Amino acid sequence: MSGLTSLQEFSIWALPVLFAVTLHEVAHGWMAKRLGDPTAQRLGRLSLNPIKHIDPIGTVLIPGLLILMGTGFIFGWAKPVPITWSNLRKPRRDMALVALAGPGANLFMAILWALVRWLAAYLPAAWGWAATPLALMGAAGIGINIVLMVLNLLPLPPLDGSRIVTGLLPNRLAWSYSRIEPYGLWILLLLVGTGALGWILAPPVSILQKIMFSLSKAG
């Protein structure tokens, strides 16, 4: 998004980032409710009101700084939705499904933002004042949701991918695998600090973004 001021770029990214991180968490809570755990619903966390999900650091500060610094790599997080494991009908299997719901929501939102970008191309010329911002916002929405989906599918605690792997492994292997959880965040920070995380994410993110951008092109 070259040529934009920092304020303009922040305005373009604000809604896509906000929806990407909050609906990711709502999807976890919604799936948990369907599988027998109403904890998130009782605490009001199935609401689409972003205020209920905003984490001052992960939803506001980190994405805002990354945008203003022009890093070209945006991510963030919302307050995790509480899940009561024992309420789930089949805890190991259901926890994997709950975990999968978050990245699934990001994929769905990426498709919706591709549709927004596609529709922007068909707005009349007189609506150019709206078409350009919508196209840029659609591109931002595709970008942030694909990054969050791929990032969260990494099989590393505390990311969703680790919950999915735990649900798929036999009990004994799942127990052994879960022992890395206390070190997961440190491993993740190490990957970020060394640049290895970007190297890992780049190929799948690039492929999926190219697919989404091709779908959002006007014919």
> Tokens standing for 149?
């989906």
**Catalytic residue list contains 25:** yes
Q: Residues 16, 20, 23, 25: which is the catalytic one?
A: 25
Cα separation, 92 vs 32, whole angstroms: 12
- Cβ contact 122:193 at 8 Å: no
Residue closest to 160 by CA, chosen among 217, 106, 89: 106
Instruction: Report, as residue numbers or ranges, the catalytic residues.
Output: 25
